[in-house]
């Protein structure tokens, strides 16, 4: 990426993932404190990050037989937040890569490796 872009924006995918984690964690916390519909909130977060949340859900389902109930329940409840963070990281990284490739083609530059 170019030197004029602030260093903070170079890791935009990390910021987006952390932002999603904070927002979804706060939302889930508010639902728990206000005795709202916890299951509906979990399902919404599950479908936001569907491809990755399915995989993490399978891993957590296998853990129920081996871990104590409290730990397994915590993993089941929190896996949708972690899956969403991974999903948004992957989406943002892909968009950033595509924008860099398109911008390089428009400028007529040869394709370079993506800086991390």
| DSSP per-residue letters across 61-87 | HHHTTTS-HHHHHHHHHHHHHHHHHHH
pLDDT over threshold 90, residue 97: no
Can you give the pLDDT at residue 69?
87
Residues 6+ apart with CB under 8 A from 8: 15
Q: 8-44, pLDDT tens digit by residue?
A: 667 888 899 999 999 999 998 899 899 888 889 889 9
Q: Look up the pTM and report it.
A: 0.78
Can you give the pLDDT at residue 2?
55
Instruction: Name the band, by pLDDT with cuts 50, 70 and 90, for residue 72.
Output: confident
Can you give the pLDDT at residue 6?
64
């Amino acid at each position: 990426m170019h030197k004029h872009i602030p260093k903070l924006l170079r890791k935009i995918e990390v910021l987006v993932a952390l932002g999603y984690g904070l927002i979804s964690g706060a939302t889930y916390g508010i639902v728990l404190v206000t005795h709202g519909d916890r299951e509906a909130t979990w399902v919404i977060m599950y479908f936001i990050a569907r491809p990755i949340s399915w995989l993490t859900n399978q891993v957590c389902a296998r853990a129920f037989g081996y871990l104590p109930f409290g730990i397994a329940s915590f993993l089941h409840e929190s896996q949708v937040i972690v899956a969403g963070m991974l999903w948004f990281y992957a989406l943002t990284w892909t968009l950033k890569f595509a924008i860099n490739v398109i911008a390089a083609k428009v400028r007529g530059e040869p394709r370079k490796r993506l800086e991390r």
